[in-house]
Amino acid sequence: MVQRSRDLISGQLSLDYFMRKAADGWSLRAIEWVREVPDHAQGAESFQVAVEGEELPYGLQFAADGLHLEQNPLERTVLLLILEKIVKERRITEIARDLNAAGLKTRQGAQWTAPAVFDLLPRLIEWGPKLLDSDEWRQRRAGTGQPS
């Protein structure tokens, strides 16, 4: 069994703090850095989170507790839009153009391109059954007159 501890620390860390934790049998697994960002700077920086050397799967984000993943609502919307356009037999270049026209950006904050949409197809295949079984998809399909 593994026991976890998450310490909220205000002020500076000291070597003594780490020595006490180690003496109690704890080993360091992660460090989380937090800083205040002025309102005008939010979204100016984009960064990718690595999970054991791999990029965080598109459509997911870390939950507030930092211990598990949850759906990213904006990225889920992008996946649903791409799925909807594929069902309507739109070309990947058209899908990229439609995403840009809707004001949506890639995870890195860039414009959508055909290769960027193409790179999401494996993720879309993986999530497809969940998306097709969602209430949001059924509502979208009801408005098109096409079979779900």
Cβ–Cβ under 8 Å, residues 75 and 43: no
Residues contacting residue 114 through CB under 8 Å, at least 6 positions apart: 92, 93, 95, 96
Q: Tens digits of per-residue pLDDT, 114-130?
A: 999 999 999 888 877 77
**Phi and psi torsions of 75, nearest 5°:** -70, -35
The pTM for the full model equals 0.56
Eight-class DSSP state of 143:
T
Taking Cα atoms as reference points, which of 62, 78, 81 lies closest to residue 70? 62
Q: Tens digits of per-residue pLDDT, 61-73?
A: 888 877 788 888 8
Rounded Cα distance, 6 and 63, in Å: 15
Residue 60 has what pLDDT? 85
Q: How would residue 143 be classed by pLDDT, with cut points 50, 70 and 90?
A: low
Q: How would residue 106 be classed by pLDDT, with cut points 50, 70 and 90?
A: very high
Mean pLDDT of the chain: 79
Q: Domain residues of the chain, as ranges? A: 73-142
